Amino acid sequence: MNVPRHWRETPERYRMEAAKCRKCGKISFPARLICPACGNKVFDKINLSGKGKLLTYTIIRTAPEGFEDIAPYAVGIVEMEERVRVMGQITDCDLLNLKTGDKLISKFRRINEEGKTGLIMYAYKFVPDVGI
């Protein structure tokens, strides 16, 4: 699959689209084909609220290829309002003041640029929820 098609066909990257099991109600993100809780194969699509709290994080100081220009940066696990955990980059904050329990909200942001084609890739990142 080519890069543009892959990104267009990945709704969780753009809309934080998850799957809610019709049998037991478990929410999976990203969506799964089989519910990990009950084995059901029928789901409803839902969009996560984008709001959550930081459970844990790490600061990346030596970044992998393609991300060197943004180091240092934080990556964390956020428990969303819907009780599902999502991993993502945390941005627009002072890394030294970041702490577990912080309220975060997802925002659509630039991730990186694909080297050969120059295609700019976007997805969600987390930023502090300042209640605006």
DSSP string, 1-22: --HHHHHHT-HHHHH-EEEEET
Tokens representing residue 16 in the block: 């934080």
Contacts of 26 (CB under 8 A, 6+ apart): 20, 35, 36, 37, 38
Instruction: List the chain domain ranges.
Output: 3-128
Per-residue pLDDT of the chain (132 residues; tens, 9 = 90+): 456 655 555 766 678 899 999 999 999 998 999 999 999 999 999 999 999 999 999 999 999 887 888 899 999 999 999 999 999 999 999 999 999 999 999 998 887 777 677 777 778 899 999 875
Q: E-strand spans in the chain?
A: 17-21, 27-28, 43-47, 51-60, 73-80, 85-90, 103-113, 120-128
Q: Which pLDDT does position 121 carry in this prediction?
A: 77
**R_g over Cα of the chain:** 16
Count of Cβ atoms closer than 10 Å to residue 124 Cβ: 21
Q: Which pLDDT does position 6 carry in this prediction?
A: 57
The pTM (predicted TM-score) of the whole model is: 0.84
Q: Which pLDDT does position 1 carry in this prediction?
A: 46
* Residue 111: Cβ-neighbour burial (10 angstroms; 0-12, 13-18, 19+): middle
Q: Which pLDDT does position 4 carry in this prediction?
A: 62
Tokens representing residue 86 in the block: 């999502």
Phi, psi of 46 (to 5 degrees): -135, 155
